[in-house]
Structure 1
Amino acid sequence: MTAESVEHCHQWPVPPKDGYTVDDLFTLPNLPSHTELIDGSLIFVSPQRNFHTDVMEVLVSGLRRDLPSAFKIKREMTVVLDNRNGPEPDIIVVRAESVIGPDQTCYRAEDVLLAVEVVSPDSESRDRTTKPQKYAAAGIPNFWRVERGGNGSEPVVHVYELDPLTRAYVHVGMQRDQLKVTKPYATDIDLGAVREL
């Protein structure tokens, strides 16, 4: 690497002594799109793959089809869990009254009824352990984790519900071809539709 090429390298932000806060997440200039805040650290995500976007499209479409008027569906929006945690679930179901306008950039954990994470190679640990633990501790009542099935092209949805006593998620089902749930509201989604995209 020459001295000239070093000069053109991107300057990464230097974290403060005690880590970043949610305020930093929303005010630091030039952060890449979809930057998350986990335990005071900024997390930059890698580009999405077709599987990820196709699954999101099928789930959002299915969730919207049966959506009660009291709820809204949002994609890739920050959820403020506390001052040091602002993850960005792939999909959330929020209370309709929490949607305040077109410039809104985040939702509070108490407004979220469902958080969905589609697991990617760079986010496996966060999506399987870190984020579900944090969502549960923040009181988000429902969580879905979507993984690739055995053939690598079809989704498997792990459905979790919050145990209010332990504030931990309980695995209530694993669904492959058809996703049929009653919480946060009744919906039936054809997961096989991912093959057609």
Structure 2
Amino acid sequence: MTEVLAMPQDVHSEPWTIDDVLAAPPKNGMRYELIEGRLVVSPVPPPPHQAAGKRLIRILDSAAPRELEASPETNLRVGADMFIPDVMVAKSEALFASGSMYVAPEDVLMVVEIISPGNSTFERAWKPQQYAKGGIPFYMEIELPAGPRVLASELRDGKYERVAEARAGETLKLAEPFPVSFDPGDLVGPRRSAG
């Protein structure tokens, strides 16, 4: 994903609200997030980033209990802010709530951010802090340029603490929020042919 862009001040003179963001004109391939009354706009991530998210969703869905589901790029409301994690694991009933435009943190068990070249400090540091403030129990970060490397963290005393880490060719094993294990190398590159 390329650097996050902030909307120029002259476009909207008052602080933005979640309702303003949801009512904004068509996104033309851009993602809109709301941070402390400011609209943050970023382009849709490049294909390798999207492929990693799609593959992770399949892995998480196959391991998750029926009441949970992995979802791509879903609006997440944390207080007056709104974020779009690359992947989230949430209660199925919250993801399919009629008329809902976002999921609340109490319905989310894990958020995942995929780090590509050009990600900003917003993506790498600030968003996880806000997820922690929202009380989301687990945070996973996938560093694509690192070959890839997956870092999994659990919320403890208001901060995320690393509980597992693995690189391509290794196995990442998690017991929570449900048992799952995978090789980070399976998230990248062309699909492998069988046999």
How far did residue 149 of structure 1 move? Answer: 4.5
Q: Which position in structure 2 is the counterpart of 1:76?
A: 73
Which shows bigger deviation, 63-72 or 173-182?
173-182
**2:132 maps to amino acid:** A
Q: Quick one: structure 1 residues 64 and 173, their matched pair in 2 at CA, closer, same or farther if it must change by over 3 Å?
A: same
1:40-119, aligned counterparts within 5 Å? 40-83=37-80, 85-101=81-97, 104-119=100-115
| Matched residue SS, 1:34 | strand
Q: Equivalents in 2 of 1:136, 1:109: separation in Å?
A: 10
Aligned to 2:124: 128
**Can you list the C-alpha shifts for 1:7-29, whole angstroms capped at 9, x where unaligned?**
xxxx9972233x21111111122
Q: Which amino acid aligns with 2:67?
A: A
Measured in 1, the distance between the counterparts of 2:25 and 2:10 equals 9
The separation in 1 between residues aligned to 2:9 and 2:36, in whole angstroms, is 18
Equivalent residue number for residue 192 of structure 1: 185
| 1:106-136: CA deviation from partner (whole Å, max 9, x where unpaired) | 1011111000000133433122111000000
What 5-or-longer segments of structure 2 have no aligned partner? 1-7
Q: Gaps (5+ residues) in structure 1?
A: 1-10
Q: Deviations over 1:20-56 (max 9, x none)?
A: 1111111122344421112221111124223201211
Q: Is 1:70–1:96's contact at 8 Å kept on the other side of the alignment?
A: yes
8 A Cα contact 2:76 2:83, kept in partner: yes
Residue 150 of structure 2 aligns to a residue whose secondary structure is strand
Look up the equivalent residue of 1:100 and give its one-letter code. Answer: F
Number of the residue aligned with 2:160: 169
Alpha-carbon offset, residue 63 of structure 1:
0.5
**1:58 & 1:31 partners in 2: Cα distance?**
25
Match of 1:183 among 170, 173, 176: 176
Over aligned residue pairs, what C-alpha RMSD do you find?
2.1
Q: CA deviation at 1:102?
A: 6.7
Instruction: Give the counterpart letter for 2:54 in structure 1.
Output: E
1:187 maps to a residue whose letter is V
Structure 1 vs Structure 2: percent identity of aligned residues? Answer: 28
**Aligned CA distance change for structure 1 residues 93 and 121 (closer, same or farther; 3 Å):** same
TM-score by length of 1: 0.82
Shift of 1:86: 0.3
Query: Given the superposition, is the C-alpha separation of residues 13 and 122 from structure 1 closer, same or farther in structure 2, using an over 3 Å criterion?
Result: farther
Structure exhibiting the larger radius of gyration computed from Cα positions: 1
With the length of structure 2 as denominator, give the TM-score of the two structures. 0.83
